[in-house]
A and B are shown apart, each in its own frame.
Chain A
């Protein structure tokens, strides 16, 4: 009868170890979603550690449409007023972007492989 709790303890430990290894794998490899909001005619600054395969979720809180358009043409997304649009990051590197409708709006995505 004393083996019971010990056995359960081992399983719990094993489960925990398994879970944490999954968590680590998730952190280092699985694509993630990053939000960049647009408000009062400004792009919020882009998050660091963006990786190819991650998703950018553009959240436009303005009433007017904006675009997020890369100068190197690697992406060009239309974001209607008060809407959300997602895009997958396909290319590594430093991508300067701007809004085609409002050229005073600018930002940069820095993407590692």
Chain B
């Protein structure tokens, strides 16, 4: 949980400057610190892929009907959004750009996956759902405070806003499940 919170901070801080650039008149400052659409697209797409992998792990390991239904929804939804994202970057001629934020998301997800693969039964279900709560909270916070304000292309911005509505529902769903599993 702490790690996920740290991750959220990493996203927020590494692109904090970008958000404030909207108000800055200096283009030099923008050049230095701005997070561009190519990076934003990479972060959003990576977050989706990582959640798909987490869902696949849950479908392999969990026998809880509600947890499996949740994982199936994560798989279905993040795939749908990422398919749209891919179509959009292709249309815009943007090549998603790897960056420290998407790398730290990936490292974090790898670590969690390795840790919880040793768990089973209720312990696994709880760990997976808790991870989903934290992950969606971090991604939503990044979308709200940083990625959406920084996005330049209106279609990308719109897709991110759709993503925020979707992932907020996912977060709520995960929180409800987490309290059921207590």
* With contact pairs A62-B162, A101-B73, A102-B73 given, residues A41 and B80 touching in the complex (Cβ less than 8 Å): no
Chain B residues with CB under 8 Å of A100's CB are 69
* Chain A interfacial residues counted at CB < 8 A: 13
Q: Is A40 an interface residue (CB 8 A)?
A: yes
Q: Is A33's CB within 8 Å of the partner chain B? A: no
Instruction: Determine whether the beta carbon of A64 is less than 8 Å from that of B172.
Output: no
- The answer to whether the Cβ of A81 comes within 8 Å of any Cβ in the partner chain is yes
Task: Tell me if B165 counts as interface (CB < 8 A to partner A).
Answer: yes
Interface hits, A28-75 → B, CB 8 Å: 40-41, 62-65
Q: A40-B162, A40-B165 are in contact. Are A102 and B76 (CB under 8 A)?
A: no
Which residues from B are CB-within-8-Å of A105? 169
Per-residue contact bits, chain A 92-113, to B (CB 8 Å; 1 contact, 0 not):
0000000011111100000000
- The docked-state distance in angstroms from the alpha carbon of A102 to that of B73 is 8
In the complex, the answer to whether A64 meets B77 with C-beta atoms within 8 Å is yes
Q: B143: shortest Cβ distance to chain A, in Å?
A: 13
CA distance A40 to B173 in the complex (A): 15
| A101 partner residues in chain B, CB cutoff 8 A | 73, 76-77
Assembly CA distance A103 to B84 (angstroms): 23
B81–A41 CB distance below 8 A: no
Shortest Cβ distance from B177 into A: residue:
A103
* A residues at B contact (CB < 8 Å): 40-41, 62-65, 81, 100-105
The 3 closest A-B pairs by CB, nearest first: A40-B165, A41-B169, A64-B77
Q: Which residues of B contact A (CB under 8 A)?
A: 69, 73, 76-77, 80-81, 84, 161-162, 165-166, 168-170, 172-173, 176
Q: A64-B77, A102-B169, A105-B169 are in contact. List 10 more A-B contacts (CB 8 A).
A: A40-B162, A40-B165, A41-B165, A41-B166, A62-B166, A63-B162, A64-B80, A64-B81, A64-B166, A103-B176
